[in-house]
């Protein structure tokens, strides 16, 4: 059973001035946890950043795709187990793992398993799409996570990445990983909580997410891994009875501060229609300011950018050398966690 409580205190801790103006909170100030009731006690969801989160239940803490360095996790319960969906740099970061993992069990896909040093591999298990397993006596299943659009297949090929369905008592939680709507996703039923990514061109659009959500009908949805995507379709087009929870993608700038939260992350659903429109306009203005700042910073700097077939590619994704210097002007700005620089491509 899902308790439909929405704890917005964590997002309320982000100053509302940050929606309409350039105020930001410290990277060390993480959002407050959200709580879901299960048949065997509360499941506490600790958002960290982007695709990283911690699921705390029955005295255990499962870390999902922990990246960003050990300092991000200092104020969280220590890991009892670690799940990794796939090998991209915003989901798999070896220095972070080596700093926090100790000898806890680690479950991942074959791609990441093969990259682990022997010390971590000794406690690791690889699951393929469709395989069942357990971690610290908690049942789970790996399901397909990949692109389905023909022009995006190189980002997340079929049969590589995992999503996970984790059973906390009678409550099933779906961590989608990096994916578009797959047949496996659309065939799901009985999901209590779903974490879905949406950022182009790597995962799905908000419109694709809405269509998928309305098909497999989880009780509660958390947007995550969404960059600066406009989440307003989730606020307006989800079927009645599906709960939209605070979003987890806060987004790190190169100076180590969080980007302004999205409209959904500050609880605008409780406002009047006029208030909602005003808040969404403020969020769009704040997001555009951040994009302009990223472009201005990038236009005056050079970084080494991997190329594939002669075209710039975001670091953290599979690329083929050579490497050359690019003087950057760009349409897309995000964060390269491994280099702590804005990632920008034409």
Locate 153 and state its tokens. 């297949």
Decide if 159 contacts 147 (C-beta within 8 A). Answer: no
For 24-44, b/e burial (b = at least 16 CB within 10 A) is bbebeebbbbbebbbeeebbb
Locate 332 and state its tokens. 């897309």
Q: Are strands 220-224 and 81-83 parallel, antiparallel or unpaired?
A: unpaired
Lowest mean pLDDT across 28-32, 203-207, 339-343: 339-343
Top-confidence residue, 232 or 218: 218
Q: What is the pLDDT of residue 33?
A: 82
Locate 63 and state its tokens. 């870390």
Residue 151 confidence (pLDDT) above 90: no
Q: What is the pLDDT of residue 246?
A: 57
Locate 293 and state its tokens. 């700042």
Model confidence pLDDT, tens digit, residues 132-149: 999 999 999 999 988 877
- pTM passes above 0.75: no
Top-confidence residue, 104 or 319: 104
pLDDT band per the 50, 70, 90 thresholds, residue 247: low
What percent of the chain is predicted at pLDDT more than 90?
35
In the chain, domain spans? 9-283, 300-345
Nearest CA to 195 out of 211, 215, 179 is that of 179
Q: Does domain 9-283 have CATH number 3.60.15.10?
A: yes
How many Å separate Cα 125 from the centre of its chain? 22
Model confidence pLDDT, tens digit, residues 3-59: 433 322 222 222 222 222 222 223 344 567 888 999 999 999 998 888 899 999 999
- Note the residue count of the chain: 346
What percent of the chain is predicted at pLDDT more than 70?
60
């Amino acid at each position: 059973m899902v308790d439909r409580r929405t704890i917005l205190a964590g997002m309320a801790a982000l100053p509302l001035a940050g929606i309409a103006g350039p105020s930001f909170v410290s990277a060390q100030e993480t959002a407050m946890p959200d709580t879901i009731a299960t048949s065997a006690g509360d499941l506490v969801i600790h958002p960290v950043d982007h695709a990283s989160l911690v699921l705390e239940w029955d005295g255990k803490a499962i870390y999902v795709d922990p990246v960003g360095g050990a300092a991000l996790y200092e104020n969280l319960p220590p890991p009892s187990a670690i799940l990794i969906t796939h090998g991209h740099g915003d989901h798999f970061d070896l220095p972070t793992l080596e700093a926090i993992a100790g000898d806890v069990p680690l479950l991942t896909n074959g791609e990441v398993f093969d990259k682990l040093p022997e010390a971590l591999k000794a406690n690791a298990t690889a699951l393929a799409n469709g395989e069942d397993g357990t971690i610290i006596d908690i049942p789970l299943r790996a399901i397909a996570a990949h692109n389905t659009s023909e022009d995006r297949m190189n980002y997340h090929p079929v049969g590589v990445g995992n999503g996970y369905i984790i059973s906390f008592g009678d409550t099933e939680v779906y961590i989608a990983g990096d994916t578009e709507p797959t047949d496996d996703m659309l065939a799901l039923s009985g999901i209590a909580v779903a974490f879905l990514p949406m950022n182009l061109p790597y995962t799905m659009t908000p419109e694709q997410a809405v269509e998928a959500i309305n098909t497999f009908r989880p009780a509660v949805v958390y947007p995550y891994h969404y960059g600066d995507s406009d989440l307003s379709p989730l606020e307006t087009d989800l079927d009645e009875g599906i709960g939209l929870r605070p979003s987890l993608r806060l987004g790190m700038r190169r100076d180590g501060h969080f980007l302004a939260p999205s409209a959904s992350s500050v609880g605008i659903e409780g406002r009047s229609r006029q208030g909602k429109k005003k808040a969404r306009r403020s969020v769009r203005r704040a997001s555009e300011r951040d994009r302009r700042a990223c472009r201005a910073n990038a236009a005056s700097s050079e970084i080494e950018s991997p190329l594939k077939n002669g075209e710039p590619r975001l670091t953290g994704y599979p690329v083929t050398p050579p490497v050359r210097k690019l003087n950057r002007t760009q349409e897309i700005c995000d964060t390269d966690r491994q280099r702590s620089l804005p990632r920008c491509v034409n």
